[in-house]
Amino acid sequence: MISRRSALSAVSLLAASAMFLGLQACSTMSAKPKSVVDVMSSNPELSTVTDLLRKSGLEPVLSAVGPFTVFAPSNDAFKAVPAKTMQNLATNPAALKDVLTFHVAPGKLDAAGITNTSVTTVQGAKLALSKTGGYVTVEDGLVIKADQAAANGVVHVIDRVLTPPKKK
């Protein structure tokens, strides 16, 4: 038989648990869904591309409804870009936007759904996608971390900074 004291302890424990879970649910429901920009900002390995998005003025665009697929170069990918090229991008806003928007495709492309095809980027040029086994490549870049979900799309971390084709 359960003692009165044990029953009261159990009821108190259940009430405290219910209150805690209720508060957790309320805080989860009020949290703003993360955009692709928020997802990139929360990843320290993407600080360079996030900073460049802010400098280019593209942050509000990629925080909008979407959906977007972002092939985000890692910080290591930017370290491999020649200093002269990075300096040119820093002083040429149009070139910076061209490079950054070449990494963004309209729509949501999860890694499982990627096939050997090409997609038109926000920049306007075609981007070659390929999948072999479990590996996904974007142009000559390898997806090193796939499917970082966002409310307005998905982010895939890649190991290269992609260069858009020269405009004719």
Q: Is residue 166 part of a domain?
A: no
Domain that holds residue 23: 1-31
Q: Is there a contact between 78 and 49 (Cβ–Cβ < 8 Å)?
A: yes
What CATH number corresponds to the domain at position 40?
2.30.180.10
Q: Name the nearest CA neighbour of 70 among 116, 127, 117.
A: 127
43 and 103 assigned to the same domain: yes
Give the CA angle between residues 109, 129, 83 to the nearest 5°.
105
**70 residue type, one letter:** V
One domain, residues 55 and 84: yes
Q: Are 36 and 42 in contact (CB under 8 A)?
A: no
> What pLDDT sits at residue 136?
97
Task: Report whether 73 contacts 49 (CB < 8 A).
Answer: yes
Assess whether 26 and 47 both reside in one domain: no
Q: What local confidence, expressed as pLDDT, does residue 6 receive?
A: 46
Rounded to 10°, the helix 93-101/83-91 angle is: 110
* Residue-level pLDDT, tens digit, the chain, 168 residues: 555 444 334 434 444 444 444 444 444 444 667 999 999 999 999 999 999 999 999 999 999 988 999 999 999 999 999 999 999 998 999 999 999 999 999 999 999 999 999 999 999 999 999 999 889 999 999 999 999 999 999 999 999 999 999 876
pLDDT at 168: 63
Residue 78 domain-assigned? yes
Total number of domains in the chain: 2
Q: What is the pLDDT of residue 16?
A: 42
